[in-house]
Amino acid sequence: MTAGTDARDSSSIGVFDSGVGGLTVLRALRERLPGESLIYLGDTARLPYGTKSPRVVARYAENAARVLVERGVKMLVIACNTATAEALPHLERVFAPLPVVGVVEPGAEAACEASRNGHILVVATEGTVKSGAYARAIRSRRPGAVVRSAACSLFVALAEEGWVDGPIVESVVRRYLAPVVREDPSVDCMVLGCTHFPVLRDAIARVVGPGITLVDSAMTTARVVADRLRSRGMLAPPVNAAALELMATDARARFARVGAVFLGATISESQVEIVDL
């Protein structure tokens, strides 16, 4: 389909992540595009991706994406920063001409818009930090930016447990972030460079203080998805009855319980289909 046509596509948008964190992106997509059907896959059996090698992440991401492609999705959204950093070009080649959207570029765009002085801190998983993807994306938009990164792998474990606040959470957040913020008091923007991290926003905000703006990629990613669908004439028909399918590779009950925190809506176990990659 080409831009400017009146064609519509009622097929689903496919979204995947290593676990339940990508449900923050799914939530933003539902808010921005309420008429679009969505299929979500959380690879909970192989969580986390952030500590895996780039080769393994690329393989896992391709496996997850293929499940969604086989269900006839019209677009892939990689709702995982590590998978985006390590596998986006690979997935674009493998599944061409299917459009593929990652979360790093939208996150970088949001950071550049939010930062007043260009001193930006990226907090992410070890894999995302090592890839340097955020630093490259930010500097391509703002060449003079000073970009620091901090790997905060335990944040994923806290989020996946549903521990999003309280003294233990704040203690872990402080252990990771207080020294980094002290090193550069000019930092005025922090990118939550993992889709698991936004549920820890309140604890993070208390530790870093009001002078640092927290941004994540979910809303910006939803905007990119909407723009790309619109430009390709692939938006759902106005009267489309939007459907939501949820899949995981393990732990249906856990996915439903913790995923509700990320989605902002109740999830019943019966809604979650277990698939084998």
Q: Which of 112, 152, 189, 194 is catalytic?
A: 194
Q: What does the alpha-carbon distance between residue 187 and residue 33 come to, in Å, rounded to a whole number? A: 33
Among 84, 86, 139, 123, smallest CA distance to 203 is for 123
Catalytic annotation on 80? yes
Catalytic annotation on 194? yes
Among 111, 107, 259, smallest CA distance to 196 is for 259
Q: Which of 80, 112, 152, 189 is catalytic?
A: 80
Max distance between CA atoms of the chain, in angstroms, equals: 54
The alpha carbon torsion through 92, 94, 95, 99 (nearest 10 deg) reads 0
DSSP H or E segment with residue 15: strand 13-17
Q: Which residues are catalytic?
A: 80, 194
